[in-house]
Amino acid sequence: MNARTLVLAALTALVLVPAAYVFLADRGLSATIADVEQRVATRARAAETKWSGAGSTDLPAPVRAYFAFVFPNGVPAHDYVEIDMAGRFRRPLTETFSDITARQVISLRAPDLVFSARVPVFGPVWATAYDIYIGGEMEMAARLLSTVTVMEETSTPALDRTSLRRWLLESPAYPMALLPGGPVTWEPIDDRHARAIVSAHGLTAALIATFDARGALVRFDAEADGDLDTPYHGSGEHTARSDYRLVDGVRIPFSFTIARAAGGEKFPFWEGRVTDIRFGGR
């Protein structure tokens, strides 16, 4: 073997070995996330939550109108939802948006969820990010090329409460979760607003819902400012929803903006659309 052949072989190895390592790491991380998604779906199927009273006079009037709007033919017997999304995302502590594709699997009957996304970083380099909240404990991380961990947070009371609020903030995509009989209760405010309170695992979180004239839930807002200096966005403090469409008997908003909020200002970090949504049941 001559010197030129040896050089070419060495260069090929320098390219292929790291590429193979990244490929295997990516497949391994994808398999891990898929296992967690299955766990969320399994726990949802086994849950004994019994929704009731979508039209109950005990509910605030705008909430009754909301349930009438999103469940035109009654409440379907779904347990969990799979949501694919695409749009633009701004990483924490940055100002530039990048294209993103993301996926969520969420229980409708208890506050369990797993979110995963692939975000371009620069050139051909990308990062895989995931948020997991199951059984009241959260875990989040971001890995460059699915290999190098660049951000990791584990369960604390503050982060667990943020993840509980995240489940509530995402709930317009699965409104069964907001029905009486589940972990969410409602308090009246006025004819266009109500307070949604989710309680689980000894923690509570609340958001103010705003409804339009049709009964659609068009925004959720936290009542306290967010900490804009954290290395993660968490749930955000504001979401706006629009473009409601009927899916499996449920009206779902396909367009959304999620933002941090503080000092009377909003700072969007996730602007996108639902590209596919599938409900699952037992």
Q: What is the pLDDT of residue 230?
A: 86
- Return all residues near 126 (Cβ < 8 A) that are at least 6 apart: 118, 119, 120, 144, 145
* Amino acid in position 169: L
CA distance 171 to 151: 26
- Paired with 154 in beta bridges are 139
Whose tokens are 């967690």? That residue is: 36
What pLDDT score does 99 carry? 92
Task: Report the chain's C-alpha Rg in angstroms.
Answer: 21
Tokens of 199: 């309680």
Strand, helix or coil at 157? helix
Q: How confident is the model at residue 55 (pLDDT cuts 50, 70, 90)?
A: confident
Confidence bin at 1 (pLDDT 50/70/90): low
Percentage of the chain lying above the pLDDT 70 cut? 90
How many other C-beta atoms can be found within 10 angstroms of the C-beta atom of residue 107? 26
pLDDT score for 18? 56
Whether 128 and 28 have beta carbons less than 8 Å apart is answered as no
pLDDT value of position 12: 46
The residue-averaged pLDDT of 109-117 equals 95
- Say which amino acid occupies 214: R
Q: Is the pLDDT of residue 114 over 90?
A: yes
Residue 59 tokens read as 């509910």
pLDDT tens readout for residues 68-92: 999 999 999 899 999 999 999 998 8
> CB-based burial of residue 66 (10 Å sphere; 0-12 exposed, 13-18 middle, 19+ buried)?
buried
pLDDT of residue 25: 64
Structure tokens at 167: 């489940």
Beta bridge partners of residue 258, listed in sequence order: 239, 270
Give the model confidence (pLDDT) of 96-106 as tens digits: 898 999 999 99
Phi-psi region of 163 (alpha: psi -120 to 50; beta: other; left: phi over 0): alpha
| Bridge partners, 81 (sequence order) | 106, 279
Q: What is the pLDDT of residues 177-224, one digit of tens each?
A: 999 999 999 999 999 999 999 999 999 999 999 999 999 999 999 999
